[in-house]
A = this chain, B = another copy of it.
Amino acid sequence: MSFFTLEGRSGAARAGTIRTAHGDIQTPIFMPVGTRASVKSLWQEDLEDMKAQIILGNTYHLFLKPGHELIERMGGLHKFMTWSGPILTDSGGYQVFSLADLNKLTEEGVTFQSHIDGSKHLLTPERSMEIQRALGSDIVMAFDECPALPATRESLQKSLQLTQRWAKRCKTVELKPHQNLFGIVQGGLDLELRRESLAGLKDLGFDGYALGGLSVGEKNEEMVALCASFVPEMPEDKPRYLMGVGKPLDVLNGIKAGLDMFDCVLPSRNARNGQFLTHDGPLNIKKARFVEDALPPDPSCDCKVCKRYSRSYVRHLFNVGEYLAGQLITYHNLYFYLQMVKKARESILAGSFDDYYQTFYNHYTSNKWE
């Protein structure tokens, strides 16, 4: 059985199955982010309830605390956090640039100071692989450099060539037998640079290909246009992953372009700001209009939050700072994403993705709660 099987298409949108040692993943899929071995404010039981198929862990955070060696001694990340399904770990590169202090980039790798205790570390392609090997994730990401946009063509090209040399070094490290390695395509919004990056990675050969360096400062239309043009050129027989993206419509646009995998902290982070994602667009529970509203947060949702709790109650919880507010909204928001991609998959298999997209789009942009 191959790692990835393409099962259907609707336009450029794809439905498939990724097979891992910890279970199958039906694509397109959204991956809840469990940065520090926990999807914030949810029990692992909640992730099972909502049928999350794969979650993401952050190499940078887990390396610093509790340390990948401890996690390996405890039996790996799956056992440590008692999540038996597939896990993807990122390379740590993005966090080293965005979170750590005093990072210094050389050909060798990145020297940085921990944002927690100021301790000094060197992260290299080989080190990133060793850490991810110790964590035991099912999908390992190559160590890349991700430049912020806008950036000059020259600096983007220099960066992707470094990423290419690093990718080659990643390939030299032996992973565990169950692990799969994805390459990361860079090149900003420049189609030619993206092609150059992809060609280099394809020569090395990876189990999947990710688009990195998007949603890092550019306009949304620019990202959508780049995906629409470039994604069809990515290998057909491998999973395609749009890293760190995005809002519900960004994910749907990614699916439309032919991407298979997505992750984003937005459903969790916005939950902590009181934002429910609903079929009629984002609903800010803080608004006075919900003070005596007995309806569920999203009446067209069948999650365990919407089946039980009212807007009025969740608004009260949020207002007085009860933990339960964030717990309920996070649960609903992740459920919302998982349902959105599940129904996208069904529509792709039925050959009607465009209808699904249009209906979702019309409701979601109705500004009902503005």
Which residues between 285 and 334 of chain A lie within 8 Å of chain B, taking CB atoms? 291-292, 294, 304, 308-310, 312-313, 316-317, 319-320, 322-324, 326-328
A220 to chain B: closest CB distance in Å? 31
Q: Which listed segment binds B: A74-82, A121-129, A180-188?
A: A74-82
* Interface pair A45/B313, CB less than 8 Å apart: no
B-contacting 9-mer, from A32-40, A100-108, A137-145, A193-201: A32-40
Given contacts A45-B304, A292-B70, A304-B45, contact A40 B313 (CB under 8 A): no
How far apart are the CA atoms of A327 and B81 in the complex, in Å? 15
Residues of B close to A327: CB separation below 8 A = 41, 43, 323, 327
A24 to chain B, nearest CB (A): 23
- Asked whether B320 lies within 8 Å of A40 as measured between CB atoms, the reply is no
Partner pick for A65 among B82, B292, B304, B319, CB 8 A cutoff: B319
Given contact pairs A66-B291, A74-B312, a sample of 14 additional A-B residue pairs in the complex whose CB atoms are under 8 Å apart: A36-B320, A38-B317, A40-B322, A41-B324, A43-B324, A43-B327, A45-B304, A65-B319, A66-B320, A70-B292, A75-B294, A80-B313, A82-B309, A323-B327
Pairs A-B, 8 closest by C-beta atoms: A41-B323, A66-B316, A38-B322, A38-B324, A36-B320, A65-B320, A82-B308, A74-B312
